[in-house]
Amino acid sequence: MPDDQNTISIIYGQFSAVFKPEAPLRLPFYTGSMFRGAFGSALKHAVCVTRTYDCETCLLKHRCLYPYIFETPPPPNSRVMRKYTSAPHPFVFEPPPGGVTAPEARPLVVGVTLFGKAISSLSHFVFALEQLGQRGLGARRVRCVLSTVDGHLDGHQWTLYSAEDRVPRSADAFERLFHLPLRPAAASFETSPTERVKVEILTPLRVRYESRLVATLPFHVFFRSLLRRIAHLSYFHCGGDSSRLAFREWIERASSVEIIEQELKWFDWNRYSNRQQTAMSMGGLIGHVTFAGKLAPFYPFLKAGEIVHAGKGTSFGLGRFRVVRCN
């Protein structure tokens, strides 16, 4: 659905996949890398029609589902991020807790949020998740049965796939929409009371500002990262026109919001990328920070951020946060 003249839109759908291990499964401390990496490999093998598995030289690079979902290069005619090798991916995983051994048949729930055009590809996601489980997870390649895939809407859930019938149902009914204002309305700031909002960072948050990963989180830095992510998701996946977003005006307003309490620490996390054949540092901030100011106009963006996450590495599940109004 395109934006109207006053808003930018994010289309999304929320789903969950339930796996049951066929033997005890040792989970890494952060499971996002395990599930995302296994999913990417399974998806590539599921959809590659050339069977070369080499996207870089493939004639179908800009038409194939795998690079769109997992590598997401900006289209050749893109008006934004043309100098980048990848745009924001159209999915977010919310992996289960790690650092333990999951007993045999104990359900492991993986949250999956899809954005825009990716929602219509849910059946491909389901097939790749099913193959992921059959290939096995962890160092011992423990097979996991994909038990169910559920769709979530307004506090209710419906089963879209089960291991018994293996026929994914349409995800179209689970599309939801955020309409967010293109520019800050002066009147809304004039009439808004000063209030406090607490942001609880649940998974490592990797935000870059002035070419560095931040160790503290001023509101304008956090909001800048979130606003840019929302704009790019809308442009690349939801048919939005991010050029109409009054980015500078929003950031100027955000600069007046203050930190009144901050308890953040750096969470070190390293992963090995089989695709890139290299070790990668993926650490980020966890904890909470409380902001004070005229926050009501920003609140819709913060609530959208609970869905889309913020910062780098969101497809791994990083940058997940919860917003709590304090008064």
**CATH number of the domain within which 139 lies:** 3.30.70.1890
In Å, how far are 3, 81, 116, 230 from 238, measured between CA atoms?
A: 9, 16, 5, 10
Identify whether residues 17 and 160 lie together within a single domain.
yes
Q: How many residues does the chain have?
A: 327
Q: Are residues 198 and 169 both part of a single domain?
A: no
pLDDT at residue 54 in the model: 85
pLDDT over 70 (residue 276) = no
Q: Which among 146, 174, 202 is the end of a domain?
A: 174
Q: Is 170 in the same domain as 188?
A: no
Q: Provide the percentage of residues in the chain whose pLDDT is more than 90.
A: 73
Does the structure show a pLDDT above 60 at 279?
yes
Rounded Cα–Cα distance for residues 149 and 66 (Å): 20
Residue 104 within a domain: yes
Number of domains in the chain: 2
Name the helix (H) or strand (E) containing 305: helix 299-308
Residue 212's Cβ-count burial label (10 Å; 0-12, 13-18, 19+) is exposed
- What is the C-alpha separation between 293 and 195, in angstroms, rounded? 6
Does residue 272 lie in a domain region?
A: yes
pLDDT band of 274, cuts 50, 70, 90: low
Do 53 and 28 lie in one domain? The reply is yes
Nearest residue to 122 via CA among 163, 161, 82? 161
Let me know whether 208 and 231 are in one domain. Answer: yes
Examine the domain organization and report whether 206 and 271 are in the same domain: yes
Instruction: Enter the pTM of the model.
Output: 0.93
Domain boundary among 153, 174, 195: 174
Tell me: the pLDDT tens digits for 162-204? Answer: 998 877 788 888 899 999 999 988 778 878 888 999 999 999 9
Q: Which amino acid is at 168?
A: P
Do 222 and 294 sit in the same domain of this protein? yes
pLDDT of residue 228: 96
Domain holding 23, by residue range, is 10-174
Task: Report pLDDT for 52.
Answer: 85
pLDDT at 72: 94
Does some domain include residue 18? yes
Q: Which of 290, 152, 318 is nearest to 229 (CA)?
A: 318
The rounded distance, in Å, linking the Cα atoms of 119 and 259 is: 37
Is the confidence at residue 1, as pLDDT, over 60? no
At which of 174, 201, 221 does a domain end?
174
Nearest to 178 by CA among 34, 28, 304: 304
Are residues 312 and 168 located together in one domain of the fold?
no
The alpha-carbon radius of gyration of the chain (Å, integer) is 20
Residue 5 within any structural domain of the chain: no
| pLDDT category of residue 265 using cuts at 50, 70 and 90 | very high
Q: Residue 108 falls within a domain, yes or no?
A: yes
Q: Assess whether 18 and 99 both reside in one domain.
A: yes
In the numeric block, which tokens belong to residue 295?
A: 């926050």
89 has pLDDT over 60: yes
Short-list 60, 86, 83, CA closest to 72? 86
Lowest-confidence segment of 4-18, 182-196, 242-256, 273-287 by average pLDDT? 273-287
One domain, residues 217 and 288? yes
Instruction: Please indicate, yes or no, whether residues 141 and 199 belong to a single structural domain of this protein.
Output: no
Residue 179 within any structural domain of the chain? no
CA dist 108 and 288 (Å) reads: 27
Domain shared by 205 and 95, yes or no:
no
For the chain, the distance separating the N- and C-terminal CA atoms, rounded to the nearest angstrom, is 35
| Residue 2: pLDDT over 60 | no
Residue pLDDT, tens place only, 115-125: 999 999 999 99
